[in-house]
Amino acid sequence: MVRTSIPKLTMALFLLGVGGTQSARSAPAEASAIRTIVLRPTPGPSLRIDFDYNFRNALPPFEHEPALDAKKTARGVIPTVPPTPLVRNITDKVLYLKADHGRDFSEGSLVTYKSRYNGHVLFEGLTVCTEQESLVIPYTINLYTYETGCAGWFEVESGWAGEFDLDGQTWTLGVVDNLDGRIDGHDLLYVRGPSKLMPVFPAADTLFFGGHTFRLNLAFESIDSAVIVKAALTELHPEMGELSVKADGSRHLRLRSDRLTALLDDPAGTVALPAGSYRVEDCLLCDEQIRWAAPKFVECGRSLSVQPGTTASLQLGKPLTSMVEVSRDRNLLRLGYQLVGAGGERYSYYNWRNYPSFKIYQGPLRIASGTFPFG
């Protein structure tokens, strides 16, 4: 994300929901200056929201639905506030969307969308909104579903972002809301500095980057008939510790404690972090040969403690090792594949051209072979 004035970079992220009192307790530090940033509408990184209205979750017909006799149909709602009803005409590849949230399809605003196939059935550019008292918050989403029924996921494509200056460098703070009109731990936050964008999901409580610590308040407002997000950053001064990082092949490292999320850009060497106990939440690897299909972080069971006056250590990233766990139940042999990093963390590797594979030999005779699923 960014290089700070500390050697080799440090960035940590603490995000606040809307509860200022709770955040003050969780990050007891002297507050000083407050800066305000206006985040304006802009496309952001996609936020995925899963849905399933099949089988026992199937919805009964809405009032006065379009006449779709002999057509195969399915129903669902988009989780705006209030919810946005939809009817899918599976036969004709059409989606009927009740944009005004009403459940009577004979009145009000009814919008139709046509699908295309993109690995799944895709309805693009759906325009929906959430009503927050007198404020109407607009969103643009894509809907992915399966060929039959009503299950899949929404991708929220719209967001809000704004630039600000810190120590002579330009930064961008952005957020993608999950359609409910509140900025909290269910939303996606992202920061862009001199380096690349780094999304953070779920959003946490406080923000540290560029050698500064901020408590962050985010709220929707209206300015000149436009819906914006106002971000208030209150600078704090927590106790600091040091972390010695060895993360070969890593572009970004994300750590999370109960109080904050810490992002390290090009992590290597000794960096300064607010004191606390951390767990590894993400390690983004860079492979110049296969950027489109680099291994993706899954999980890491390690935790570490960064305390004032001490230097903790952390090793992650390359080299990656393919490991197979073998278990046997009578004449059934189970093989479990894992791609493991230098710190014991696990990755998934979606390389469509080169599946992980295995061969079993009895002496010189090969008796079995196959490939593992991705994951």
pLDDT tens readout for residues 122-161: 999 999 999 998 899 999 999 999 999 999 999 999 999 9
The set of residues, in sequence order, having a beta carbon less than 8 Å from that of 238 and lying 6+ positions away, is 27, 29, 208, 213, 274, 275
Percent of the chain with pLDDT strictly greater than 70: 88
| Tens-digit pLDDT profile for residues 273-323 | 999 999 999 998 876 555 556 788 999 988 999 999 999 999 999 999 988
pLDDT band at 121 (very low <50, low <70, confident <90, very high): very high
Q: How far apart are CA 176 and CA 197, in angstroms?
A: 14
Largest CA distance in the chain: 78
Q: Please give the average per-residue pLDDT across 206-234, as a whole number.
A: 89
**What pLDDT, on the 0 to 100 scale, is given for residue 112?**
97
**Tokens 């610590």 sit at which residue?**
213
Q: How far apart are CA 11 and CA 282, in angstroms?
A: 14
**What pLDDT, on the 0 to 100 scale, is given for residue 146?**
96
Q: How far apart are CA 326 and CA 120, in angstroms?
A: 35
pLDDT band at 362 (very low <50, low <70, confident <90, very high): confident
Is beta strand 311-317 parallel, antiparallel or unpaired with respect to 240-248? parallel
Dig out the tokens for 268 from the structure: 């290597």
Q: DSSP character for 104?
A: B
- Regarding predicted confidence, which is higher, 336 or 48? 48
Domain ranges of the chain: 47-157, 239-375
Evaluate whether 285 touches 294 at the Cβ level (below 8 Å). Answer: yes
The set of residues, in sequence order, having a beta carbon less than 8 Å from that of 254 and lying 6+ positions away, is 13, 198, 200, 261, 262, 263, 264, 280, 281, 282, 283, 284
Dig out the tokens for 333 from the structure: 């042999």
The CB density around residue 73, as the number of other CB atoms within 10 Å, is 16
